[in-house]
Amino acid sequence: MRTVFPNFVLKVVLLLVSSAALSGCTIMVSSAANGLADNLSVAIVNQDDPELVRAGAPSYLLLLDSFVEGSPDNPDILAAAATLYATYGAVFANDELRASRLTTRARRYALKAMCESYSPACGWPEATYDEFVATLTGIRPKKSEFLFTYGFASLAYLRAHSSDVNTIAELPQMEALFEHYLDISRDAVNSSAYTYMGILLTVRPPVAGGEPERAREYFEKAIALTDGKDLGAKVEFVKGYAKKLYEREMHDQLLNEVMAADPYQDGFTLGNVLAQEEAAVLLAEADDYF
């Protein structure tokens, strides 16, 4: 059976090949790959049809794999591939095994991106908590984007491997990672980091290290930073805080705000559509839960 690729993919590949042939160097290919990866990320997050992303993204996962093969030491390309693999594995993978495979690759790419940009990160897989935290102090603002990518890919990986009790031991490392990211990212902060901190602080009960009130501050910060445009932050606030503390009034208020909001927000559209779908389910189940 002959494999058929989207015309756009073929045009991009041909453009990259011809560029390399004409220039005689890999810099142009790397630059084009970076540009495509950036544009692809924007197109995906602004897509309002999750099923279209589910069906179409695998072609671009393979395309990004080819870019990594061509520039295996380029942290920007590695980070772009890690982000798309982590997103697809966490949101669109249909079964546990597939989610495991996709997020494992995502984390591998993210670690390589960190390792290429900051050599102490190469030892993170074998590091103890204290060793891991000690290396974080050397990561400066210019590397904050790669740190965020590694954290995001790691959360996707840990979620896909939640049945493994060893994943719990990594949660404190992820808390330390995002705390350092928030310290160094300054005005370039990705608001999702606040949501992730809220999730990390509520995934465990208080007796096991969970801090729901501190988590609430992070969730509220994520919502405020985006002027409420990130509907996913409100849904996570409900799941991590309102439901667990049996705050019915807060639960319903936040979810009704999500359902009433305009999902079409630059940079958040896909996540907002998914958040509204989840909010509808949570509202329908509320009477049985509370």
Dump the DSSP string for the chain. Answer: ------HHHHHHHHHHHHHHHHH-SSHHHHHHHHHHHHHHHHHHHT-S-HHHHHHHHHHHHHHHHHHHHH-TT-HHHHHHHHHHHHHHHHHT--SHHHHHHHHHHHHHHHHHHHHHH-GGGGGGGG--HHHHHHHHTT--GGGHHHHHHHHHHHHHHHHHTTTSGGGGGGHHHHHHHHHHHHHHHGGG--THHHHHHHHHTTSS-GGGT--HHHHHHHHHHHHHHTTT--HHHHHHHIIIIITTTT-HHHHHHHHHHHHHS----TTTHHHHHHHHHHHHHHHHHHHHH-
pLDDT band at 11 (very low <50, low <70, confident <90, very high): very low
220 with 288, same domain? yes
CATH number for the domain spanning 251: value is 1.25.40.920
**Residue that is last in its domain, among 182, 213, 232:** 182
> Domain tally for the chain?
2
**Residue that is last in its domain, among 120, 151, 182:** 182
Q: Which residue has the higher pLDDT, 161 or 30?
A: 161
**Residue that is last in its domain, among 158, 182, 206:** 182
Helix (H, G, I), strand (E, B) or coil at 94: coil
145 with 257, same domain? no
Which structural domain range is residue 72 located in? 48-182
213 with 288, same domain? yes
81 with 168, same domain? yes
122 backbone dihedrals φ, ψ, rounded to 5°: -60, -25
228 with 197, same domain? yes
Question: Distance of alpha carbon 157 from its chain centroid, rounded?
Answer: 10
pLDDT in tens, 203-234: 988 887 889 999 999 999 999 999 999 999 99
pLDDT in tens, 79-137: 999 999 999 999 999 899 999 999 999 999 999 999 999 999 999 999 999 999 999 99
pLDDT over 80 (residue 21):
no
139 with 175, same domain? yes
Q: Is residue 18 part of a domain?
A: no
pLDDT band at 26 (very low <50, low <70, confident <90, very high): very low
Per-residue confidence (pLDDT) for residue 214, from 0 to 100: 97
Q: Is residue 29 part of a domain?
A: no
90 with 178, same domain? yes
238 with 284, same domain? yes
171 with 85, same domain? yes
Structure tokens at 72: 């295996």
